């Protein structure tokens, strides 16, 4: 009897440990509504958010997907979960700037997430939010989200439609008139330090630009600005197929700046690219690296005629 009792107690302890371990996981599908935290107490559009998480030990991977205004966005995520603190941390990812009007050409804020696991009889939730780094803190407002774990299969689209149907502040996800904001991408890019890599002399009014992922393909995404105008918006660099475009070189202006803005850091930071500049007389190859603190820039200078050089 004593042996049986000891065996029973051991089994119960094992069950308790296994049960406790299973409770200390964030694996699964989570839905929530992201609310922008504005210091002036104003209002902003909501983010309808989905987390799909996998967990191996303390390492967390998965996807963060969201609807904002009329656009849908998806990010691969990496992070950690600390069971004793019930703390989930998500590494820096790009999230669309809350003042964006046109989601097709909007800019992203680099943000990281921190959430605490809350377990009750009613539901299991992740409470916390996303916030930007110090260099973007005054532009990119924090986003508070309360994710609730989905115990049954509910398509994300149905969740979004249901939340919108509730009305109140959630209806702000539907397109609503707002004042036009002059290029947000430019203002965010200007918050980072510009590193002038090279000044190149060209001989034509128009030159071709090709951009490749520099080295191994690792999901680097970039925005390219030329003289503070967006030329390429949030495109992924490839190793074989370039991002290609032409720019006009102003013969009056003494310089024309091509600036590479890192939308993310890819799988292997920093964000790196090979830029090839071509005209009828020249072919330049320039290696560029950008991160959340600096933009890489190349300056084009029109070759002067003999009369101008005298």
Cα gap 132→93, rounded to integer Å:
9
**3-state secondary structure (DSSP) of residue 135:** helix
In degrees, to the nearest 5, what angle opens at C-alpha 87 toward C-alphas 121 and 67? Answer: 80
Listed in order, the ranges of the chain carrying CATH 2.40.128.120 are 24-173
Listed in order, the ranges of the chain carrying CATH 2.60.40 are 192-309
b/e 280-300 (16+ beta carbons within 10 angstroms → b): eeeebebebbbbbbbbbbbbb
Per-residue pLDDT of the chain (310 residues), as tens digits, is: 554 455 555 554 444 444 444 457 999 999 999 999 988 777 788 999 999 999 999 999 999 999 888 778 888 999 999 999 999 999 999 998 888 877 766 778 899 999 999 999 889 999 999 999 887 888 899 999 999 999 887 788 778 777 766 654 443 443 333 333 334 556 666 678 889 999 999 988 889 999 999 888 888 999 899 988 888 888 999 998 999 999 988 876 667 899 999 888 888 888 999 999 999 899 999 999 998 888 999 999 888 734 343 3
Residue 26: predicted pLDDT: 95
Residue 5: predicted pLDDT: 58
- For 245-293, the pLDDT digits (tens) are 999 888 766 678 999 998 888 888 889 999 999 998 999 999 999 988 8
Residues belonging to the chain: 310
CB 170 within 8 A of CB 33: yes
Instruction: Name the class of domain 192-309.
Output: mainly beta
* Domain 24-173 CATH (choose: 3.40.50.300, 2.30.290.10, 2.40.128.120, 3.40.630.10): 2.40.128.120
Cα gap 176→101, rounded to integer Å:
9
The residue among 127, 123, 94 whose CA lies nearest residue 109 is: 94
């Amino acid at each position: 009897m004593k042996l049986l009792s000891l065996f029973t107690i051991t089994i119960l302890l094992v069950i308790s440990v296994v049960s406790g371990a299973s409770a200390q996981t964030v694996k699964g599908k989570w839905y929530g509504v992201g609310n922008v935290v504005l210091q002036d107490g104003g209002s902003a559009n909501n983010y309808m958010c989905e987390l799909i998480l996998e967990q191996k030990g303390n390492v967390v991977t998965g996807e963060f997907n969201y609807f904002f205004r009329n656009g849908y966005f998806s990010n691969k995520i990496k992070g950690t979960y600390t069971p004793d603190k019930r703390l989930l941390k998500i590494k820096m990812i790009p999230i669309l700037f809350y003042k964006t009007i046109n989601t097709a050409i909007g800019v992203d804020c680099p943000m990281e997430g921190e959430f605490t696991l809350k377990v009750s009889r009613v539901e299991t939730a992740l409470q916390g939010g996303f916030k930007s780094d110090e260099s973007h803190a005054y532009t990119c407002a924090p986003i508070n989200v309360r994710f609730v774990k989905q115990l049954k299969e509910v398509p994300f689209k149905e969740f979004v439609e249901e939340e919108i149907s509730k009305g109140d502040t959630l209806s702000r996800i539907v397109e609503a008139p707002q004042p036009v904001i002059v290029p947000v991408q430019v203002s965010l890019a200007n918050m980072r330090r510009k590193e002038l890599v090279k000044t190149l002399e060209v001989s034509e009014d128009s030159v071709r630009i090709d951009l490749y992922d520099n080295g191994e393909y690792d999901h680097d995404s970039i925005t390219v600005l030329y003289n503070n105008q967006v030329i390429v918006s949030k495109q992924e660099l490839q190793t074989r197929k370039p991002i290609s475009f032409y720019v006009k070189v102003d013969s009056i202006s003494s310089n024309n700046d091509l600036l590479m803005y890192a939308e993310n850091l890819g799988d292997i930071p920093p964000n790196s690219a090979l830029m090839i500049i071509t005209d009828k007389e020249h072919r330049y190859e320039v290696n560029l690296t950008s991160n959340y603190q600096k933009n890489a820039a190349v300056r084009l200078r029109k070759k002067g005629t003999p009369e101008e050089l005298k």
